[in-house]
A = this chain, B = another copy of it.
Amino acid sequence: MTDEAEGAPSRRDMFRMIGVMGGASAMYMAMAELGHAETTDAFRGPAKLSRPPPGASVLILGSGVAGMVAAMEMRDAGYKVQVLEYQDRPGGRNWSLYGGDTFTELGGATQHVQFDPGIYLNPGPWRIPYHHQGIHHYAARVGVQMEPFMQINFNAYVHSTKAYGGKPKRYREVQADFQGHVAELLGKSAQQGALDQAVSKEDREVLMEALRSWGALDGNFQYTKSLAASNRRGFAKDVGGGLSAVPVPSDPDPLSQVLNGRLWTAIAQMNDHMHQYSIFQPKGGMGQIGKAMGRELGPLIQYNSKVVDIHQDAKGVTVTYVDTKTGGPPRTATADWCICTIPLPVLSQIPMNVGAPLQAAINHMGYHPSMKVGLQFKRRFWEQDEQIYGGITYTDQPNVSVGYPNYDYFSRGKGMLLGAYVSTPESYAYAAMPPEQRIKETLHWVSQIHPQAVAEYECGAAVAWHRVPWILGCASTWTEETRAKHYDNLCAIDGRIVLAGEHASYIGGWQEGAVTSATDAIKRIHQRAMGA
């Protein structure tokens, strides 16, 4: 039962000894040594900053996740910290809309959110993969609890207006059919000798066995109407009890339809590392993280402060800002160092005396569009009528996806659907509509998948990120080309200024990008402050 040479202490014995002698961290080091544990995450714990020079100060622009992570760590290290925030709340794109909230977008349209208590829309981020250890660390630090996000729901739909007669298919049906047909085809190839060069005879036998099990093939290695296939794709009538128990298998769809329906694109992307289980959402809405971080920082954040100029010289940084609430003449704030997390579409419009490489990087960045619509319904018909508990339906309609609430499962109360989450160019068309029109269109698209939606609809909210005043877009978009040309320049310290935020990361559009970029930026600024 052990793989050690006879006489040598077994691995188990060694771990026991280490565990007793050195406690958990010695144990962990030993595990890592033996290749038993892995630390592949980009976030490897908070920046451990030494004591800064007496009186050292930092000015942080923006109280989104990047700004607040930087503020907490630098304050804890001993820096004098001030945060300027354009909004009247902390969090930035870490944001949930609740009943009673008001939101005015560019163009002046104001939405008074009517959701019932407990119901919310996350206009920005809505899920956190397990491997985003940075944002998990800070969420836990400020006391926000996590609950599972239902990323893959086998009973949700994948839907193409051009396939399967335009009817939504269950994810499980398409996944099983694709996998089954692939297994059958490969099995045929193997049996016909087509793999003889690529696969040894011994491996081929194991491969056939694997394909049969994994593809739910029958005794002849075919993917057919069978209990085995139904045990993947679902039954026409499920197994039951007593004398009415006998199951009825369902009919797999033919290969050609499965391929040309192109619904495998949704299946494929569900396997992405960013979407893999376990994946989480904060209880009560993503915005709980921003709120809690804001409480943690308290008076260090100065809200309603619109930055209009950023100026640095040999001695420090001076930021000029306007109080958008009380008005009055511009004020200034100064510090030794500045961590600027202002989104680039806004920052590119603010005068700032940095070098040409950084300014070029700022000016070249495109932000992709995004639009989200939340719809509140009288009852959770997707659960009660269609047995869809959480998860996401994908469609080729303009609304792109329908997200089901990942909490209060089986409740008899009301519920909210994310009726649209659009990152395609159609976002611009949605952004051009008034909010109520966005909601109306979304309800239409949702009703093509869930006809109940029309009768059960109560109220909605719609956020088109290109109309959000403090960002003017959803998230940064890097290409291989812009990355090569501008990324290092965007991240490099320019005099006394460094940028942080998801745009200064390889994880664009995810909060982990904000956290890891902030962690990296403060380490480097701290080195400078220490004279290194």
Contacts and interface: CB of A to CB of B under 8 A. Distances in A.
Interface string A432-466: 00000000000010011001101110000000000
A146 B410 contact: yes
Contacts of A387: 41, 130-131, 133
A130 to B, nearest CB: 5
Given A176-B271, A385-B31, A455-B27, A165 B3 contact: yes
A1 B268 CA distance: 25
Contacts of A502: 241
Given A19-B451, A246-B506, A385-B37, A241 B518 contact: yes
A360 interface: no
Contact of A194 (B189, B243, B519): B189
Contacts of A30: 451
A427 B401 CA distance: 46
Contacts of A155: 130-131, 276, 278
A239 B194 CA distance: 39
Contacts of A166: 3
A192 interface: yes
A520 B410 contact: no
Interface in A117-155: 130-131, 133, 136, 139-140, 145-148, 150, 152-155
A72 interface: no
A152 B151 CA distance: 11
A242 B519 contact: yes
A388 B412 CA distance: 32
A236 to B, nearest CB: 6
Nearest to A19: B455
A507 B239 contact: yes
A385 B28 contact: yes
Interface residues of A, number: 145
Contact of A40 (B140, B175, B200, B234): B234
A7 interface: no
A80 B148 CA distance: 44
A12 interface: yes
A435 B379 CA distance: 48
A240 interface: yes
Given A165-B3, A194-B192, A386-B37, A260 B206 contact: yes
A103 interface: no
A240 B12 contact: no
Contact of A24 (B230, B455, B513): B455
Interface string A349-387: 000000000000000000000000000000101000111
A409 to B, nearest CB: 5
Contacts of A168: 36
Interface stretch (A81-89, A207-215, A302-310): A207-215
B165 A500 contact: no
A411 B214 CA distance: 36
B451 A40 contact: no
Contacts of A140: 410, 412
B167 A35 contact: yes
A137 B488 CA distance: 57
Interface stretch (A48-56, A90-98, A178-186, A321-329): A178-186
24 contacts: A3-B161, A11-B451, A15-B447, A24-B385, A27-B451, A28-B385, A42-B244, A42-B245, A133-B387, A147-B147, A154-B278, A172-B276, A185-B198, A192-B194, A210-B264, A213-B265, A230-B273, A240-B507, A241-B504, A242-B491, A242-B518, A242-B519, A243-B524, A278-B389
Interface of A: 1, 3, 11-12, 15-16, 18-20, 23-24, 27-28, 30-31, 35-38, 40-43, 130-131, 133, 136, 139-140, 145-148, 150, 152-155, 161, 165-168, 170, 172, 175-176, 178-179, 182-183, 185-186, 188-189, 192, 194-195, 198-200, 203, 206-207, 210-211, 213-214, 230-232, 234-247, 250, 255-256, 259-260, 262, 264-265, 267-268, 271-274, 276-278, 280, 379, 381, 385-391, 397, 406, 409-410, 412, 444, 447-448, 451-452, 454-456, 488, 491-492, 500, 502, 504-507, 512-521, 524
